[in-house]
Structure 1
Amino acid sequence: MKRKRLYSMMSTAIILLLILIMAGCGTQADSGSSTGSQTASSSTDTGTATQEEAESTDAPQTKSFTDPTGTKEIPVQAQRIFSISATTQLLALGITPVGGLQYEIDQDYYLKNAASKVEIAGDYPPNMEAVTALMPDLIIASSFVEADVLEQLEKIAPTVVYPWEDNLYDQLRYIGDIVGKKAEAEEWITKHEAKVEERKAEMSSLVGADQTVAAVEIFKDSFQVAGTRNMGFVLHDLLGLKRMPWVQEEVDKSNGFVVYTEPQSLEKLPELTADYLIIKVNDTQPGSTEFYEKMKEFKLWQNLPAVKNGNVFIVPHDKWWSYTLFSTDALLDEAVELFKQHKK
């Protein structure tokens, strides 16, 4: 009887012990599962971070880019860009170059705010020591830069040439491709094209479709008529104002590329037959103002259609001379305002 009771007690104890062991295992399994899950998650996060770091480290630091001079290796994300006639394009893309040249920056009315942020490395050709001191990791230059200058620049940093002969939009697209900002370039262009359409519609109500307009630059001993660049680009290509027939012929013969016509003497004044004349005196050149005053005394000038009808506008050289994204954007407003004020 005692033995049976002992066996019974032992059996009960064993059962209780087994229950406790099983409960402990269950708790440990749950705990282990939770810890394992957290560890796995933690491991995954760490792995992701490590992978991102690895990808960042392993990502190509340079890319091949082919410009008009050949194929070269350039930084994927350049940090210090030196500009030769690419400053407004870079600024439009949200990039401030570390340096540029005096002729482009100091003389540009629309780059006054940027001038304090961009170091000047001389005029053209660049001061190579000054360029070197800026430690650029990329140089972007216009295609008008001579081969010997490009050769010197290449010794300082990879140098990419953009086609200056392209229109402003295509220049921006090209430079956007160089610096990895193609989307930003298209965004700027889209916004600007919308503004062009608005200003063009306004201008069409101010100037007749058959009326001609000539933008004329006065020098110290001659004058030239703007073609498809500078103020001519704004007035004719964007705002749709009609050129004088002989200027249009020059544009057509030159495949649409005429910066200005050849210099004309005073004897050529009768060829300025436009209904409207926009006159810009190049006051940076001594003698230009005097030449214009002399021009106005000529009967040939006084008999011009635009002069006789009071359709002559004088515009400031500093605002109207350059051919950049910023000047073009501003001149859309300036040109429309000129004609609006004239109609009042």
Structure 2
Amino acid sequence: MSTTTILLRGMLALAVLGTSLTPAMARTLDTAFGAVEVNDDPQRVVTLYEGALDASLAVGVTPVGAIATRGGQQVAGYLRDQVPDIQMVGLAGETNLEAVVALAPDLILASPRLPEEQYALLSQVAPTVVPPSAGFTPDAWQSESRLFGAALGREEQIDDALADIEARAAQLKASVSNSQLENAHTDAEGTAPDTHLVRWMPQGPLVMSTQLFSTGMLSAAGFTVDDSGLVSEGRPHSDPLSLEALPQIDGDWLFLATLNEDGLEALNTARETQAFRRLSVVSRDRVVPVDGQLWTSASGPLAAQAVLDDIESAVTGNTTP
């Protein structure tokens, strides 16, 4: 048995001892791994999922630890100012269990894709809440947020946040419809403008699924989101496209995301090619650059408002505060 394994088991034993000394549990939640009892007022929350961090901050709870956003070493940029001193306990899909134990959490909020063997370890440290997986569906984040809100004892606050998002998306839908009447090149009156969400990577552009959080927000705001039949069922995105295949992502609008500097450099290079410039969406100036960490990795109430900010800025030409 390695020294690291012995140390980790010792830390887990201490964590279990600490958990047994906490006040009586107050609520029971239905989770992916069955009923979980949680403290009435958790004080040291660790989030192992970007949607959990977002939901926590949306209801006024600041976690002590979190994982980094996909493609980065810190939390996503849209949240960074709210948690400047938060401790990193891993990367997307790579939790550092020792770092979690060291923070002595009294609640862990995890991803619906958390492996059962990791849950078995984490649940020895603190009550661990894992949402049931709904696969790729555009509204799964809402049920996840409600579960996280319940785990934090903030059900009313999360319901209010979700209601605000629904109302804002409905209002923005009217602006999108008006913009379509003014700018559409082919669509008839009353038809929603079509768009693709594409994440540009060094190996080429990936068409994102229509079943994701951000494409769901585009739909709620009045767009018809298309994947051109390139995304297999249950997959988050297509295989990389060649420049010659770019006409498959042409349309009324194109929301174009990059995760990091490598992706941005690849996109800037592609912008100089004739294949990119020939797209009608480019000639009509309807390409909208967006933050890939927000649009293709994040989820939650704060992410939803930030995505709606981007949509509103694109459609109205106004920059939100």
- Alignment map for 1:184-195 (pairs within 5 Å): 184-195=157-168
Secondary structure at 2:95 match in 1: coil
Given that 1:140 and 1:161 are in contact with CA atoms closer than 8 Å, whether structure 2 keeps it comes out as yes
Given that 1:199 and 1:333 are in contact with CA atoms closer than 8 Å, whether structure 2 keeps it comes out as no
Residue of structure 1 in register with 2:69 after alignment: 103
Residue of structure 2 in register with 1:82 after alignment: 46
1:332 partnered with 2:308: yes
Given that 1:199 and 1:336 are in contact with CA atoms closer than 8 Å, whether structure 2 keeps it comes out as yes
- Alignment map for 1:87-236 (pairs within 5 Å): 87-103=53-69, 106-123=74-91, 124-163=93-132, 165=135, 167-208=140-181, 209-226=191-208, 227-236=210-219
2:205 counterpart letter in structure 1: F
Structure 1 Cα separation of the partners of residues 75 and 64 of structure 2: 18
Deviation at 1:241, TM superposition (A): 0.6
Given that 1:229 and 1:258 are in contact with CA atoms closer than 8 Å, whether structure 2 keeps it comes out as no
1:187-234 per-residue CA deviation (whole Å, 9 max, x = no partner) reads 111122122122222221112425321222111112122323254232
Secondary structure at 2:125 match in 1: coil
Structure 2 Cα separation of the partners of residues 127 and 192 of structure 1: 34
Deviation at 1:87, TM superposition (A): 1.0
Deviation at 1:89, TM superposition (A): 0.7
Q: Can you give the 5+ residue segments of structure 1 that lack an aligned partner in the other structure?
A: 1-58
Quote the RMSD (CA, aligned, Å).
2.8
Change (3 A) 1:73 1:290: closer
Given that 2:215 and 2:225 are in contact with CA atoms closer than 8 Å, whether structure 1 keeps it comes out as no
Structure 2 Cα separation of the partners of residues 134 and 312 of structure 1: 43
Structure 1 Cα separation of the partners of residues 283 and 166 of structure 2: 35
Change (3 A) 1:220 1:292: same
Given that 1:61 and 1:77 are in contact with CA atoms closer than 8 Å, whether structure 2 keeps it comes out as no
Given that 2:47 and 2:110 are in contact with CA atoms closer than 8 Å, whether structure 1 keeps it comes out as yes
Given that 1:106 and 1:115 are in contact with CA atoms closer than 8 Å, whether structure 2 keeps it comes out as no
1:82-111 per-residue CA deviation (whole Å, 9 max, x = no partner) reads 111111111112222222223378231121
1:65-96 per-residue CA deviation (whole Å, 9 max, x = no partner) reads 33111233332332322111111111112222
Change (3 A) 1:217 1:83: same
1:96 counterpart letter in structure 2: T
Deviation at 1:185, TM superposition (A): 1.7
2:141 counterpart letter in structure 1: L
Structure 2 Cα separation of the partners of residues 74 and 318 of structure 1: 30
Paired residues, number: 276
Residue of structure 1 in register with 2:15 after alignment: none
Q: Give percent identity, aligned residues only.
A: 24
Structure 2 Cα separation of the partners of residues 261 and 119 of structure 1: 33
Structure 1 Cα separation of the partners of residues 160 and 196 of structure 2: 32
More helix by share: 1
TM-score (norm 2): 0.75
Structure 2 Cα separation of the partners of residues 147 and 245 of structure 1: 32
Q: Can you give the 5+ residue segments of structure 2 that lack an aligned partner in the other structure?
A: 1-22, 182-190
Deviation at 1:318, TM superposition (A): 5.2
For structure 1, which segment, 156-165 or 324-333, has the greater mean C-alpha deviation from structure 2 after superposition? Answer: 156-165
1:280 partnered with 2:263: no
2:115 counterpart letter in structure 1: E
- Work out which of the two has the higher radius of gyration on C-alpha atoms and give 1 or 2: 1
Secondary structure at 1:171 match in 2: helix
1:253-298 per-residue CA deviation (whole Å, 9 max, x = no partner) reads 84xx6633333222321212312222223334x3x34433443454
TM-score (norm 1): 0.70
Given that 2:66 and 2:75 are in contact with CA atoms closer than 8 Å, whether structure 1 keeps it comes out as no
